[in-house]
Structure 1
Amino acid sequence: MATQNVGFQMLRSAAAGALLMASGALAAIAAQRHAMEAMRRRVEELEEQARAQQRSNLAWQQRQHWELLSKAIDDPDLAEVLDIYSLPVSPQRRRQYLFANALYTNLLCYHRIGNLTREEFLQYARGTFQNPIVREYWEATREQRASATGSEEAELGALVDQLLAQLDEADTEEWWVVGLPPADE
């Protein structure tokens, strides 16, 4: 009988040891899962901080761009520095082109920081490019846009080119319905 008790106690000890090991393993897995979840949350926080910093940087860049353009619009001598158009333009037209650039850049910045979807960007562009001076500016800067490839700005510029071609080909006076904007990605 004593032999049976010893065997039973050994079996019970082995079962208790296995149960203890299993519970230890489960505790370790739970701790790892908790640590992984905490790291995932931290990575998401850092990614959001990076996106917020990028939006802030874009807004700052937009402000700097506007300040530079404002100086050039106000001072014909400074505006000459920015005269990179395909054809010679008068000082008045140059100031108008600089303002057209500011309008387009502002629209582009709004899209890049997430205030406008691609469809909204094209809707605003459709209205902005109804102005003949803005269209003239766009044509005068075609060569510069052609040299910028592979960026979101280049892609949006190409979409504006397509939109303008559709507007030119349209046989309707209802310009606001011309051109189907591509779906947002």
Structure 2
Amino acid sequence: MATQTPAVRRSRIGSAVASGRDLMRAFFARGSRRRRQEDVLLELLGQLRLMTEEIHRANLIQQYRLTLEQMDRAIDDPSLADAASTLTGLSEVKRRQMIFANREYGILLMAHQVGICDWEELLGHLRVLCRNQLFAEYWDRTDEHRRSLPPDSLEARVGAVVDVMIEELADGPEEWWIVGPSAAGPDS
């Protein structure tokens, strides 16, 4: 067996240390690379979720735009108003007013659904709308329509709030700005 000089031994030890250090760097680099990949993947999933929500809101808005166009046509043309309304025994003028009241209510719901106004703002707008006698009549005439809504739907929850507002306004309209529930939120 050949004897190694101290310089050769240091060279081999140095090479082994360098190789070990390189292996450790590669190992930790893979770990940090994997963490970066996971972070990028999580960020992409978050962006995908936001895009999906935005597409849903855009579809809601487009569907409601079509509904508003139909309502506008029904308001302009009495024969279309008859076809678009399920309310009976109304004059031509009254039918148009009911369609318009429905349109105004729908606009407020849509504004809340797409995030233009929060729950508290929605309640404020509804308080003002409920003061209108034509809206109160529309609300009374469409009571049966709301009974068919799933109880946990936004429209059913908002409908229950409007029911309370109209009832409280009938009892004491002088303090209209405080009728209805507090701004606790639609899930309360």
Q: Same fold (TM over 0.5)?
A: yes
Shift of 1:45: 1.9
Task: Give 1:75's aligned amino acid.
Answer: D
Structure 2 CA distance for aligned equivalents of residues 94 and 179 of structure 1 = 28
What runs of 5+ residues in structure 1 fail to find an aligned partner? none
Counterpart residue number, 2:113: 112
**1:3-39, CA deviations, whole angstroms, 9 ceiling, x for partnerless residues?**
xx99999987776665444332211110011111111
Structure 1 CA distance for aligned equivalents of residues 180 and 162 of structure 2 = 10
Structure 1 CA distance for aligned equivalents of residues 45 and 181 of structure 2 = 38
**1:147-179, CA deviations, whole angstroms, 9 ceiling, x for partnerless residues?**
01132222222222222233334x351211223
Structure 1 CA distance for aligned equivalents of residues 23 and 160 of structure 2 = 64
Q: Matched residue of 1:174: which SS?
A: helix
* Kept after mapping to 1: 8 A contact 2:57/2:114: yes
Shift of 1:80: 1.0
Counterpart residue number, 1:122: 123
Q: Matched residue of 1:36: which SS?
A: helix
Question: What is the correspondence of 1:95-106 to structure 2 with a 5 Å cutoff?
Answer: 95-106=96-107
Counterpart residue number, 2:45: 43
How many residue pairs are counted as aligned between the two chains? 183
Question: What is the correspondence of 1:24-173 to structure 2 with a 5 Å cutoff?
Answer: 24-85=26-87, 87-149=88-150, 150-169=152-171, 171=172, 173=174
Higher relative contact order (CA 8 A, sep 6+): 1
Shift of 1:141: 0.9
Q: Matched residue of 2:174: which SS?
A: coil
Q: Matched residue of 1:46: which SS?
A: helix
Structure 2 CA distance for aligned equivalents of residues 172 and 111 of structure 1 = 25
Q: Matched residue of 1:121: which SS?
A: helix
Structure 2 CA distance for aligned equivalents of residues 147 and 22 of structure 1 = 66
Counterpart residue number, 2:178: 177
Q: Matched residue of 1:115: which SS?
A: coil
What runs of 5+ residues in structure 2 fail to find an aligned partner? none
Task: Give 2:94's aligned amino acid.
Answer: R
Shift of 1:139: 1.1
Structure 1 CA distance for aligned equivalents of residues 183 and 18 of structure 2 = 65
Task: Give 1:54's aligned amino acid.
Answer: H
- Alpha carbon RMSD of aligned pairs, Å? 2.6
